[in-house]
Amino acid sequence: MTAAVLLAAALGAGEGGSQPDPPATAIWDELLRQHARGGGLDYASLAQDRGRLESYLEAVAATDVGALDDAAALAFWINAYNAGVARLVLERYPGLASVEDVDGFFDELTVEVAGQAMTLDEIETRARDSGDARVHFAVVCASASCPDLRAEAYVGARLEEQLSDQTSRFLADRDKGLRFDPEREELHLSSIFKWYAGDFTGGSTVVAFFARSQITAWVLPHLPEELAERIRAAAPAVRYMDYDWTLNDR
């Protein structure tokens, strides 16, 4: 089957009266397949396709999220975040070296989503409200240390598979996800685990930051068993990696 046929099947997979993914998801899927490269985005080529991105975001603005089932709704928020990031970057591209150079990029600039002007932080919070911490490996803040941008849209029918794969891929990346140093008995993790510690432990982020063993406990089931056993045996100290905010331009 082609990617388009597979996505069409996924978009039609709703049950019991709940609506599957919005049809416009197919536009975002096509854009990602054409312009996502090496875990980032080819912003120069996406800029030439700006009309289709805006068409997708117009549909995002008009979406009734309440009509979607839970999985489709979560996929919607993830896609809306990633597409919103792409638009905000393109509005300042070329010449943008890092989103950190843009005042209010995450907490002041807005994108119209489901009838509301929302900041990226607010969109991300809607995704985080699902209680699934793997969301943090799906939303991509256009930076080098972010999880890789998936070269396909998230869809409700395949969301579990997609989030599981994203998590595994991110933790397998020694440069930005996870690196175990058995000689020093240190486990180096992405700063994402520090900033959102509460999401991975079910408690307060402040408390969880100081109880780093709880973060390790979340990570271990998502690792290959051999590596997980080595980490359990070592009971390593947790260290957090520096975060590279360089634009993920490909």
Delimit the domains of the chain by residue range.
16-159, 178-240
Q: What is the mean pLDDT of residues 205-233?
A: 87
Q: Dihedrals φ, ψ of 107, to 5°?
A: -120, 5
Tokens representing 66 are 């309440």
Model confidence pLDDT, tens digit, residues 153-197? 999 999 999 999 999 999 999 999 999 999 999 999 999 999 999
Task: Indicate the average pLDDT of the chain.
Answer: 92
Q: Could you tell me the pLDDT band of residue 18, with boundaries at 50, 70 and 90?
A: low
User: Whole-model pTM?
Assistant: 0.92
Nearest to 60 by CA among 85, 40, 36, 39: 85
Model confidence pLDDT, tens digit, residues 108-136? 999 999 999 999 999 999 999 999 999 99
